[in-house]
Amino acid sequence: MSSPTSAAPVGRPRSGARRLPAATAREEILDAAAELFASRGYAATSTRLIAERVGIRQASLYYHFANKEQILAELLESTVRPSLTFAASLSARSPADALHTLVHYDVGVLLAAPWNIGILYALPEIASEPFAQFRREREALRAVYRSLTAAAGGSALTGEFIFGLAENVIGMRRDLSTLPPADALQDAVADAALRLLGAA
């Protein structure tokens, strides 16, 4: 009879080295999924493929996420929630300054993600229920843009243009082989937002 100390470990060891040695298993799954969604496409990526990329069993992936939709929803929310939270800290600034600061920060969030997950905003699946929270948060961020633009003397349409201008870096990441340094691009987009507003 074997002793407790000689019992076999539960589960199967990972195949290969870890993707992100300092990350949790959940973070590794999100990173692998983001890479696959951005490079292969959402429809062409299965949970089995994500698990294989991480080096875990598919059953282990399901311990962290119920399905592929839940993984994508969390990734999408991570592209808007930081900016929405940051916007709440700008109330003491003038509207134009707050708008400039928000655009600068928002562009930074979209550029900092290792994988360009924003290219999936236009997927038809995003209109379905699993992505309702993402849609609400993105619309709330859009409303902040409109509100700050209006408070700075601009129109609602200008607010939409500025929101689109910030998100335009998603297309730049997709289409351009090289981008300017992140801080230079953040400055350029934030300054362009104020020019649209007529405040610079």
Separation of CA 19 from chain center: 19
The answer to whether 68 touches 46, Cβ cutoff 8 Å, is yes
Distance CA 139, CA 145 (A): 10
User: Which CATH number describes the domain made up of 69-197?
Assistant: 1.10.357.10
Residue spans of the domains in the chain: they are: 14-65, 69-197
Distance CA 122, CA 157 (A): 21
Distance CA 33, CA 178 (A): 23
Q: How confident is the model at residue 123 (pLDDT cuts 50, 70, 90)?
A: very high
Residues in the chain: 200
Res. 99: pLDDT tops 90: yes
% of the chain beyond a pLDDT of 70: 88
Which residues lie below 8 Å from residue 158, measured CB to CB, with a gap of 6+?
149, 196, 197
What integer is the mean pLDDT of 90-102? 96
What integer is the mean pLDDT of 70-89? 97
What pLDDT is stored for residue 22 in this prediction?
64
Helix, strand or coil for residue 56?
coil
User: Is-same-fold flag (14-65; 69-197)?
Assistant: no
The CATH class given to the 14-65 domain equals mainly alpha
What's the one-letter identity of residue 100? Answer: H
Which residues lie below 8 Å from residue 195, measured CB to CB, with a gap of 6+?
none
Helix%, strand%, coil% for the chain, nearest 5:
70, 0, 30
**Is 0.85 surpassed by the pTM of this model?**
yes
Distance CA 44, CA 160 (A): 32
Which residues lie below 8 Å from residue 200, measured CB to CB, with a gap of 6+?
191, 194
What pLDDT is stored for residue 198 in this prediction?
86
Over residues 39-64, the pLDDT tens digits come to: 999 999 999 999 999 999 999 999 99
